[in-house]
Amino acid sequence: MTLLSDSNQPVIDIKRLSHSYGKKQIYKDLNLTIEPGTVFGLLGKNGVGKSTLINILMGYLQPTGGQCMVFGEPSHHLTAEIRQKIALLYEGFTSYDYMTIEQVEQFFAPFYRQWKKDVFYALVSLMDVQTDQKLSTLSFGQKSQVVLGLLFAQDADLLILDDYSMGLDAGYRCLLVDYLKNYIRATSKTVLITSHVMNDLEKLVQQIAIVDRTTDVYQESMNNFCQQFHCYEADGSVETIDGIHRAEQSHDTTRLYSFLAQHELEQKLQKTLTEIDVSFEERFLGFVGKY
């Protein structure tokens, strides 16, 4: 049964979702809402369940408990109409190396009713390549750009980018981030994105969910996380107490990560702290741990 479309309903609405592989529980009572037009970052180290959640959203896995709705339909029973609204880029994509850039665009176009040829060639034109070149002659980063062009050309309402930055050097990543920001601004698309390059995400993402090796998922806006999750340094060792999320000792100092304000933590520790200005990637690692 196809549910009526409602432009005000969440694109993704997850309630009390649980999933396990045998005795290994990945999620327990996960609640997650992604509103239309949001750029959402699903973050976490390898092996914590990011791809599992994407597989559930796409209907490739049925959750062991709870509800996962995509555009108002259960994710494991998506109609063809709703699938047309979703464009998915998997980590480790497949490319047709024997085709030219022009041929691969012509091959994909008939499968999508809203295909935007100009969007594909706009992204390809940013690279120093010819459209009659075979994909086998391109670098991995250039192939990635072609695949991303195929993704954007689908004109889907929801883009799911699973580690889009894999294989892209710094120049191509900056190019893509700028292009993606402009594309989203012009089209109000909803984007769910994962990446191992955290500093890129700070420029793109509005809302985040951080998955760690527990079944808990931290959800917040990017701005609030960066403003509220602090990094401090203290001389010597520090006893781990309630309020310290993570402590990392190095030589004669200890680096502390905490949601507490400096004066609150100093009062608890009876110790003088220095707040350290760190990047989003360092905050992320302070949250989930380096190892």
The pLDDT value recorded for residue 4 is 42
Q: Which of 20, 119, 125, 123 is nearest to 65 (CA)?
A: 20
| Domain presence at residue 6 | no
Strands 86-89 and 246-250, by their bridges, are unpaired
| Domain presence at residue 37 | yes
Structural domains counted in the chain = 2
The pLDDT value recorded for residue 1 is 39
Whether 21 and 90 map to the same domain: the answer is: yes
The pLDDT value recorded for residue 157 is 95
Q: Give the separation between CA 21 and CA 12, rounded to whole angstroms.
A: 23
The pLDDT value recorded for residue 2 is 40
Whether 265 and 184 map to the same domain: the answer is: no
Note the pLDDT tens digit of each residue in 255-268: 999 999 999 999 99
For residue 37, give its domain range.
Answer: 12-221
Whether 235 and 205 map to the same domain: the answer is: no
- Over its length of 291 residues, how does the chain's per-residue pLDDT go in tens digits? 344 445 678 999 999 999 999 888 888 889 999 999 999 999 988 778 888 999 999 999 999 999 999 999 999 999 999 999 999 987 666 778 999 999 999 999 999 999 999 999 998 988 889 999 999 999 887 888 898 899 999 999 999 988 766 666 777 777 777 888 888 788 889 999 987 677 778 878 999 999 876 667 899 999 999 999 999 999 999 988 999 999 999 889 999 999 999 999 999 999 999 999 999 999 999 998 887
Q: Give the separation between CA 43 and CA 269, rounded to whole angstroms.
A: 31
Q: What's the gap between Cα 223 and its chain centre?
A: 16
Q: For residue 171, what is the domain's CATH number?
A: 3.40.50.300
Extract the tokens encoding 169: 């050097």
Note the pLDDT tens digit of each residue in 54-88: 999 999 999 999 999 999 999 999 999 999 999 99
Domain boundary among 221, 243, 260: 221
Whether 74 and 139 map to the same domain: the answer is: yes
Q: What is the secondary structure of 46-96 as a DSSP string?
A: TTSSHHHHHHHHTTSS--SEEEEEETTEEGGG--HHHHTTEEEE-SS----
In the DSSP assignment, the letter for residue 134 is B
| Domain presence at residue 4 | no
| Domain presence at residue 185 | yes
Q: Is 262 helix (H, G, I), strand (E, B) or coil?
A: helix
Whether 101 and 167 map to the same domain: the answer is: yes
